[in-house]
Structure formats: structure tokens, C-alpha cells
Amino acid sequence: MSRNTKINLVLLFAVAALAVLPLALGLGDHKKEPFTGADAEAETAITELKPDYEPWFSPLYEPPSGEIESALFALQAALGAGVLAYYFGLRRGRRQGEQRALEREADSALTGAAGKSAAERD
């Protein structure tokens, strides 16, 4: 097994452990909504510590339900992943194109040099 394969397997195991361990250990059992986002957790902590706190800003758009909010977040994540995938694919394609161009130049230089030497012999 190559070194990269071992690293990939270790990373895959770590991601799986991060996904399964909170569920298996029951880390959110004592909460009404166990796996809410960090914003909701922060809002709850602030209102417990300082009940008269007033936020500086209000949201530009408040989704009507949690499902729509989750869908918008997933859409945002998918768009971001698409932009990153396009960028890295473009970089890889350019690098491969440059490598192929260099290989063609090297091949043409070799065939040109071989052709000249054969022509010079005649």
C-alpha cells in the first residue's frame, strides 16, 4: 500500500469518527435541539448571561422556517464547492496543458535534430 493510500485511509477514518462519535456518545441528548448551529448556541448563551442584550444588527432576510434556512445554507455550500472545484480543475488543466506543450516541444526538437543529422549525412 502506498503512502498516499495510507494517509487517505487515516483521513477517511478520522472524518467517519468525527461524524459518528457525537451520535454514539449521545452528546446532544440533554438538549431540545441537539445539533443546532453555532449561531443558535451563541444566541442562547448571550441571552442567559445578559438578558437585556440588544443585537447591533438585524438580519437582512429571515427565512420563514429552519428547513428553508438549511436549504439556503446547503445551496451556499454547494456553490462554494463548485467555485473551488472549477478553480482547481482549471489550474490542473492549465498545468497539464503546459506539460504537454513542453513535451511536444521536446519531441519536435528531438525529431528535428534527428532529421537534420540524417539530412546532413546524405
DSSP notation for 46-87 = HHHH-TT---S---S---SSHHHHHHHHHHHHHHHHHHHHHH
As a whole number of angstroms, the distance between CA 53 and CA 51 comes to: 6
Rounded to 5 degrees, φ, ψ at 59 are -65, 145
pLDDT for the residue 114: 63
Residues in the chain, pLDDT under 50:
118, 121
pLDDT for the residue 55: 84
Cβ neighbours of residue 63 under 8 Å, at least 6 residues apart?
A: 69, 72
* Closest residue by Cα to residue 22 from 37, 31, 34: 34
pLDDT for the residue 87: 97
Do 63 and 72 touch, CB atoms closer than 8 A? yes
Task: Please give the C-alpha separations between residue 113 and each of 63, 104, 106, 120, in angstroms, as whole numbers.
Answer: 69, 14, 10, 10
pLDDT for the residue 41: 79
Output the average pLDDT for the chain: 85
Give this prediction's pTM.
Answer: 0.51
* Closest residue by Cα to residue 118 from 110, 73, 15: 110
pLDDT for the residue 115: 58
pLDDT for the residue 72: 92
Give me Rg for the CA atoms of the chain: 29
pLDDT for the residue 67: 87
